[in-house]
Amino acid sequence: MHTFKVNDMSCNHCVQSITKAAFAIDPQAVVNVDLAAKTVSIESSTDAAAFRHAISEAGYTPE
Ligand SMILES: [Cu+2]
């Protein structure tokens, strides 16, 4: 399980962009975004760095 804090995620559009970016890395991933807590949890066997990069590319700042 990879968990990122994404403080610059502010609405459902952000949630969708990040979810889409995660699925582009691993279509089998289980992605949970908690907008209130500003966390993104991804269950995947793919390396966390790949998701971190994808979230950055989508225009967000994963911590
Ligand atoms: Cu947004």
Is there a contact between 30 and 45 (Cβ–Cβ < 8 Å)? no
- What one-character DSSP code corresponds to residue 11? S
Task: Sketch the domain layout of the chain as residue ranges.
Answer: 2-57
**Can you list the positions of beta strands (E) in the chain?**
2-5, 30-34, 39-43
Look up residue 27 and give its amino acid: P
pLDDT on residue 18: 98
* Other Cβ atoms closer than 10 A to 31: 20
Residue 9 C-alpha to ligand 1 middle, in angstroms? 6
Distance CA 45, CA 14 (A): 24
Residue 56 C-alpha to ligand 1 middle, in angstroms? 14
Residue 63 C-alpha to ligand 1 middle, in angstroms? 17
Q: How many residues belong to the chain?
A: 63
**Coil/strand/helix, residue 45:** coil
| pLDDT, tens only, 36-57 | 999 999 999 999 999 999 999 9
| pLDDT, tens only, 13-33 | 999 999 999 999 999 999 999
Name the CATH topology of 2-57. Answer: Alpha-Beta Plaits (3.30.70)
